[in-house]
Copies of this chain bind each other. A is one copy, B any other.
Amino acid sequence: MKKIITSTSNEEIKRIRKLKNKKERDGSGLFFIEGIHHVIEALDQGAEFENLIFCPEILRSEIGLKVVKSEKTQNIDVIQVSEAVFQTLASKEGPQGLAATIHQKYYLLEDIGKEDRGIWILLEGVQDPGNLGSILRCMDAVGGRGIVLLNDTTDAYHPTSVRASMGAIFTQSIIRTNIDDFIIWKKKNNFLLIGAICREGIDYNKIQYPSKMILALGSEQKGLSQQVMAICDILINIPMIGHVDSLNLSNSASIILYEIFNQQRMNINIEKGSL
């Protein structure tokens, strides 16, 4: 089905614009993505589209035009909009004329235990959606499984998080839960929980990481709560020798994730070498 919309005050366009707000996203279960790269990644990963939105005056890229006509988008409702309408939807400079509304997808804590291996991240009280998006992106890079968002952690489907994830929002499993349910789950499941803290803890570089584990990171301002620290099996820190007393949260996550990834790569090499 294809619709053509040229009015910026069209009700459907208004509704899509409102997806910038958490309330609208929570209510509808939808989120908005923008740009050729993100739309292609969403299609490749089998995301559930509500609408594909394109603007013929802006969309000039051959790859982008192919997407609109491709088989993969044949069963998706397409909304063709005027340049004026697209500009009201676009949040980044130099829009590419391609966007979509997509159904959010949440997994359950029970899904974590289903596989023998897997690195997960637990975020508690993280405020900056840019940090969350960058962590998703890094998790994708190291083959991580997904992210558990605890309590008031920022929304993974916030436009800034989605953009910063560079498509990893579709490859990583997102779980929302509260601390009580997480504690119950943790007691039942044989998953090592490693908490990153600023002082004390073991040097992150001196640990042998297991092939299934959850790395817990706290908020930018306060770090992990006492409650989460109490259920961690190991507490680690990233040593620092300068004046700052912490690193940017997504940088901390990346540094630890790559230590884990490097160890696992090394083990795989050793295993292969010993065959």
Contact = CB atoms under 8 A, between A and B. Distances in A.
Interface stretch (A25-33, A78-86, A160-168, A226-234): A160-168
A258 interface: yes
How many copies of the shown chain assemble into the complex? 2
A275 interface: no
A164 to B, nearest CB: 7
Nearest to A45: B243
Interface stretch (A68-76, A139-147, A149-157, A177-185): A139-147
A206 to B, nearest CB: 10
B134 A244 contact: no
Contacts of A255: 254-255, 258
Nearest to A166: B244
Interface residues of A, number: 38
Interface string A238-256: 1111111011101110110
Interface in A209-235: none
A265 interface: yes
A267 B123 CA distance: 34
B238 A167 contact: no
A265 B239 contact: yes
Interface in A91-132: 130
Contacts of A9: none
A142 B258 contact: no
A105 to B, nearest CB: 16
A140 B244 contact: yes
A130 B220 CA distance: 15
Given A137-B247, A138-B248, A247-B138, A168 B254 contact: no
A141 B242 contact: yes
Contacts of A244: 137, 140-141, 166-168
Given A130-B130, A164-B248, A262-B205, A141 B254 contact: no
A241 B130 contact: no
21 contacts: A41-B243, A45-B243, A137-B248, A138-B251, A140-B240, A140-B243, A140-B244, A141-B238, A141-B242, A142-B241, A143-B242, A144-B242, A167-B243, A171-B242, A205-B265, A247-B254, A248-B250, A250-B250, A250-B251, A251-B251, A251-B254
Given A141-B244, A168-B242, A168-B243, 7 more contacts: A134-B247, A134-B251, A137-B244, A141-B241, A166-B244, A248-B250, A250-B251
